Amino acid sequence: MRVLMVGDVVGKPGRQLTLELVPRLTAEYAVDFVIVNGENAAGGVGITPDIADVMLQGGIDVVTLGNHAWGKREIFPYLDEEPRLLRPANYPPGVPGQGYGIYSCAAGLVGVVSLQGRTFMDPVDDPFRAIDRILETLRRKTAVICVDFHGEATSEKQAFAWYVDGRVSVVAGTHTHIQTADERILTEGTAYLTDLGMTGPIDSVIGMRCDIVIPRFTSLLPARFEVADGEAQLCAALIDIDDISGHATAIRRVQVPGHVVNRSYS
Ligand SMILES: [Fe+2]
Ligand SMILES: [Fe+2]
């Protein structure tokens, strides 16, 4: 089974490029299942029901989120209704939505888990203990399990990947918006990439306008970020998984430049 995992989609430039490229990549690389991180899809922060609908109708099987899951309040009831939209599983009990699920595609059943790190981030519940609980459920149904680990620290992501090595098919990091070059298959068969990178405007600071972000560093005054314009790029990874063992057989990084997108963002 071949899975495409796409890094954080930022604003309209990221959405447009994702909707254009996902069907093309799916056909070109015979992809069976597509997972996209959409935590920055709506104006750079959060996701709305309309945007989630368009993504899920556009060839994406599951949309994962992260610390910005809660950026748009209108998504709260949607999270409870739509199992293909996942927020991180390790939030306190009772928050809207779910953090993992099992989905079927032509190649078989796929488990998907969204988790959030705790290092240099808000102190969510323990993602290590959370995955142990989740795997008790998922591994009864399928060996193919894909984890989006949404975290800031490379060390936490690596430690998590080794912790679940051989128990999940792939751990792909999100959140930093910068793709790392460390893709590999760990010793027990889990494919790993510290960060998938961002799908959004290239001439930017992690997707946001440089002329707004730079003064925030130089003046320390608060500023409202805006999604940048210009050419966008899709960052992703292709993972080949043996659907019987659940172990990965290959992982390849993907970076596809897009077109210049006109300004008028939402
Ligand atoms: Fe993000
Ligand atoms: Fe994030």
Amino acid at 257: P
Who contacts 74 (Cβ-Cβ below 8 Å, separation ≥6)? Answer: 48, 49
**Would you place residue 260 in the very low, low, confident or very high pLDDT band (cuts 50, 70, 90)?**
low
List pLDDT tens digits, range 228-250.
998 999 999 999 999 999 999 99
Q: For residue 225, which ligand has an atom nearest its CA?
A: 1
Q: Is the pLDDT of residue 225 over 70?
A: yes
pLDDT number for residue 259: 61
Please give the distance, rounded to the nearest whole angstrom, from the Cα atom of residue 150 to the centre of ligand 2: 6
Residue 28 CB-density burial (10 A; 0-12 exposed, 13-18 middle, 19+ buried): exposed
SS3 breakdown of the chain: % helix, strand, coil, rounded to 5? 25, 30, 45
Please give the distance, rounded to the nearest whole angstrom, from the Cα atom of residue 175 to the centre of ligand 1: 4
Q: What is the mean pLDDT of residues 163-187?
A: 98
pLDDT number for residue 258: 80
For tokens 């959004």, the residue is 200
pLDDT number for residue 263: 46
pLDDT number for residue 266: 38
Sign of the C-alpha dihedral, residues 250, 179, 158, 3?
negative
Please give the distance, rounded to the nearest whole angstrom, from the Cα atom of residue 67 to the centre of ligand 2: 5
Please give the distance, rounded to the nearest whole angstrom, from the Cα atom of residue 206 to the centre of ligand 1: 8
Q: Please report the domains of the chain, with CATH numbers, ordered by start residue.
A: 2-201+231-258 (3.60.21.10)
Q: Is the pLDDT of residue 105 over 60?
A: yes
Q: What is the mean pLDDT of residues 109-128?
A: 97
Ranges of beta strands (E only) in the chain are 2-6, 33-37, 62-64, 85-86, 100-105, 108-116, 145-150, 170-174, 184-185, 191-193, 200-201, 230-241, 248-261
- 74-88, 204-218, 251-265: segment of lowest average pLDDT: 251-265
Which of 207, 208, 169 shows the shortest CA–CA distance to 190?
Answer: 169
pLDDT number for residue 172: 98
Please give the distance, rounded to the nearest whole angstrom, from the Cα atom of residue 46 to the centre of ligand 1: 9
Mean pLDDT computed over every residue of the chain: 96
pLDDT number for residue 241: 98
Q: What is the mean pLDDT of residues 242-265?
A: 82
For 127, phi and psi rounded to 5 degrees?
-70, -25
pLDDT number for residue 212: 96
Q: For residue 200, which ligand has an atom nearest its CA?
A: 1
**Nearest-angstrom CA–CA distance, 133 and 209:** 40
Whole-prediction pTM value? Answer: 0.96
Q: For residue 88, which ligand has an atom nearest its CA?
A: 2
Who contacts 231 (Cβ-Cβ below 8 Å, separation ≥6)? Answer: 201, 202, 203, 257, 258, 259, 260, 261
Q: For residue 69, which ligand has an atom nearest its CA?
A: 2
Please give the distance, rounded to the nearest whole angstrom, from the Cα atom of residue 15 to the centre of ligand 1: 13
Q: What is the mean pLDDT of residues 51-72?
A: 98
Please give the distance, rounded to the nearest whole angstrom, from the Cα atom of residue 144 to the centre of ligand 2: 25
Q: Is the pLDDT of residue 264 over 50?
A: no
For the chain, give the percent of residues with pLDDT over 70.
Answer: 97
**Nearest-angstrom CA–CA distance, 69 and 248:** 28
CA distances from 159 to 9, 40, 91 (A): 25, 25, 20
Write out the catalytic residue numbers. 68
